[in-house]
A and B are shown apart, each in its own frame.
Chain A
Amino acid sequence: MQYLKHMSERVNFVDENDFEYINILNRPEFIYGTTAISGKSVDFYKYTARISEEILDMNERTRIDFQNQSSASSGCRLRFITSSHKVVFKVSLKREWDYSKMTLWNSSGFDVYEINGEEYKHRTVFGPKTGQKMFAEILSTSPGKGYCIFLPNYNVINELYIGIEKGSQLLPFPYKHALPIIFYGNSITQGASASRSGNSTCNIVSRQLNSDVVNLSTSSSCKGQQSVAILIGRINSKAIVIDYTRNAYDIKSFKETYERFYNKVRYYHPHIPIILMTTSNFHDWKGYYGYDDVDKETYAKAIIRKENTYLINQRDLFNGDDYDLVAVDGIHYTDYGMYKIAKEIVRILKEQ
């Protein structure tokens, strides 16, 4: 890896005269997982201006987290096929510092998979060290093979260029089935605290089902607003995972918003599977117990109405003896936790 002072700085590991660069942010056909489906440039912003204004009017913690995370590339992927034998990445990120509960290869990591048929094989992960946000990296590629790179879960990509050998091609690598699975949740659903960006639950599900995903989760900002339910309602999707619980202001506002939120999403998507999740509470924090009761009640009503709805009780997926291994701080999952949740989501969706 070479750290750059500016994006036009030449890299020292290849002769740049033999490469041509493509500004990926001007080529939306290479990026998957964004909500913006039109326009000539990639827009990582998760929400409409109106919803953003609504969230920015909330409390200070929510506002700060939303400002940092609303255009993070969590759940987004760069997918391509190339005839080039080497690919050079030049990247400029917004943030150069660690988050206290995750590695930099998650928050700022580019997690590279090579795809053969439906099989994803992990190749490498790269990202800058503490204090750096502009860098170049090289990846050796096999011509004709597909590549899927999971983008940083907790950082914003300001610039992204890909250099390929002159005369070679870089082609989009679409999914066979275009409809995405939507994830809506909190900091965990956004990706904390997987060890690398590809190992968040949403991204594991994407790999295991070889499916497009849209991750609308932003840390602290998941409040179950009706406007977000309508946004989700308007995205043509094959399944929805709702991990809205503990970001609610309190149990009272959770009770007022949760069932309404679910019903609104269900109104727009009457038939597809919707998976509800209880709280991720692995330190027996009493404050969260009431939230789970609301989840369960909403689920029970949906089942009475014979809706295609499922409930994942996150605590029940693990043995109580293992709770100190599931999450780094009692809440935010390790890969161990992420995989178990993903496995359960995949199991439900495969039964459809």
Chain B
Amino acid sequence: MKFYNLKDPIYIFGSTINHIIPYYSGFTENSTCNPVGGQIRFCSNSFNFSIRYTVSASPIGNFQNTGISTRSGITVLIKNNKAQWRIVDCVYAKESGELSFCKSKYDNLPAVLEIMICLPIFSNLSDIQVGIDDECMLEVIERKNMMKILVLGGVSSYGIGCTSSSMMFSNIIARKLNCIVYNISFNNNQHLEVITQHIDRIVDMYNEFDVILFEADYERQKPEIVQNSLNNILQKLSVYKCPIVMWNIEKDKIYKYVVDNKQKSLSPVFLMPIKEVFEKESDLCCFSKNFINDTANILLYKMFSKFFDKITKEC
């Protein structure tokens, strides 16, 4: 087998893996970077694969609702010959781990296999490599025509509540809609305040987005923070001139800000009062008012997917 370094940016999609925004673990600011919401994608004609990875700085905290594979592990997916994604496995290792698989064990696979690796949300990914058969090639995925989506938000966008990182709605969107999703989220109850601190840097770093999915509120967020931050964030995001979908909101609470923004002719803003759906389906979707689970992430993907069609028509 020959091994390739997958930390090369040509294989990394949507990750903040190399950027300079610190993440918040909820109780402490960590100055190092983690790959939250990122994926590694590539193709290969190899028959056998071996993915080796090393993680570090795995925090121990109150993460009873979030699987350790999401926090510090990886999930590997493959695309079959019907363009459907299949999960090979989700794994966790305290420091170094390896996941090997052979194409012959799975049905319906094409000669050149597309692979996606969903990365951990808390641990630093110190190293990740893939080993393939000696005579085979590793190919880069073409990203020229892919839609670019910004997921901007707090605890739920960050992946808190997911059993494995492949269940994060941002990762589901990335693979199902074959687009690049930049997940810039903060594990912080007052996430609008944190976004305000970083919004200028975000706007400097990224030139264009086709859609922005903005987790605009959170159960524990103080109303004054919403009042002080929301307009400013929306104004800064309007530079992208793309639709902004605001979700996780109580309709009445946010409505006046949206009206204000429309008056200023900023980007088109769409409200998705998803909280009402989650409350109705709380047994299926929620741990509590504060945290959503895998199923809620699946529903979010399905709603956004439908919404993208609507947005495309309206804009």
Separation of A218 and B92 alpha carbons in the complex (Å): 22
| Chain B proximity of A3: nearest CB distance (Å) | 11
Question: Interface digits, A281-313 against B, CB 8 Å rule (1 contact, 0 not)?
Answer: 011111101000000000000000000000000
User: Which chain A residues lie closer than 8 Å to B84 at the CB level?
Assistant: 320-321, 323-324
User: Which chain A residues lie closer than 8 Å to B106 at the CB level?
Assistant: 283-286
Question: Interface digits, B165-185 against A, CB 8 Å rule (1 contact, 0 not)?
Answer: 011000010010000000000
Interchain CB contact under 8 A, A339 and B295 = yes
Interchain CB contact under 8 A, B65 and A103 = yes
Separation of A196 and B294 alpha carbons in the complex (Å): 11
- B69's partner among A100, A130, A284, A339 (CB-CB below 8 A) is A100
Interchain CB contact under 8 A, A283 and B161 = no
Q: Any chain B CB within 8 A of the CB of A145?
A: no
Separation of A256 and B153 alpha carbons in the complex (Å): 54
User: Which chain B residues lie closer than 8 Å to A103 at the CB level?
Assistant: 64-67, 163
- B87's partner among A125, A128, A327 (CB-CB below 8 A) is A327
Residues of A in contact, count (CB < 8 Å): 43
Interchain CB contact under 8 A, B163 and A193 = yes
Q: Any chain A CB within 8 A of the CB of B263?
A: no
Interchain CB contact under 8 A, B298 and A195 = no
Interchain CB contact under 8 A, A336 and B294 = yes
Interchain CB contact under 8 A, B86 and A195 = no
Across the interface, name the chain B residue whose C-beta is closest to A207.
B283
Q: Any chain A CB within 8 A of the CB of B310?
A: no
Q: Any chain B CB within 8 A of the CB of A239?
A: no
How many inter-chain residue pairs (CB < 8 Å) link A and B? 139
Separation of A285 and B167 alpha carbons in the complex (Å): 20
| Chain A proximity of B88: nearest CB distance (Å) | 6
Question: Interface digits, A244-268 against B, CB 8 Å rule (1 contact, 0 not)?
Answer: 0000000000000000000000000
Separation of A314 and B216 alpha carbons in the complex (Å): 38
Q: Any chain B CB within 8 A of the CB of A122?
A: yes
Separation of A91 and B294 alpha carbons in the complex (Å): 27
Question: Interface digits, A94-112 against B, CB 8 Å rule (1 contact, 0 not)?
Answer: 0000111111110011000
User: Which chain A residues lie closer than 8 Å to B66 at the CB level?
Assistant: 103
Pick out which of these stretches binds chain A: B12-20, B55-63, B241-249. B55-63
Interchain CB contact under 8 A, A329 and B64 = no
Separation of A193 and B166 alpha carbons in the complex (Å): 14
Separation of A124 and B282 alpha carbons in the complex (Å): 11
Question: Interface digits, B86-98 against A, CB 8 Å rule (1 contact, 0 not)?
Answer: 1111111000000
User: Which chain A residues lie closer than 8 Å to B104 at the CB level?
Assistant: 286
Interface of chain B residues 284 through 312 with chain A (CB within 8 A)? 284-288, 293-295, 298, 301
Q: Any chain B CB within 8 A of the CB of A180?
A: no
Q: Any chain A CB within 8 A of the CB of B195?
A: no
A283-B106, A324-B166 as given contacts; A100 in contact with B91, CB under 8 Å: yes
User: Which chain A residues lie closer than 8 Å to B37 at the CB level?
Assistant: none
User: Which chain B residues lie closer than 8 Å to A122 at the CB level?
Assistant: 282-283, 286
Most buried by A among B77, B88, B163, B287: B163
Interchain CB contact under 8 A, B86 and A98 = no
A103-B67, A130-B60, A336-B294 as given contacts; A284 in contact with B89, CB under 8 Å: no
A129-B63, A330-B86, A334-B295 as given contacts; A98 in contact with B105, CB under 8 Å: no
Across the interface, name the chain A residue whose C-beta is closest to B108.
A284
Separation of A252 and B60 alpha carbons in the complex (Å): 44
What are 21 A-B pairs with beta-carbon distances under 8 A?
Answer: A101-B163, A103-B163, A105-B65, A105-B287, A124-B288, A130-B60, A131-B60, A195-B287, A284-B106, A324-B84, A324-B172, A324-B175, A328-B87, A328-B90, A328-B164, A328-B166, A329-B89, A329-B164, A330-B87, A334-B298, A335-B285
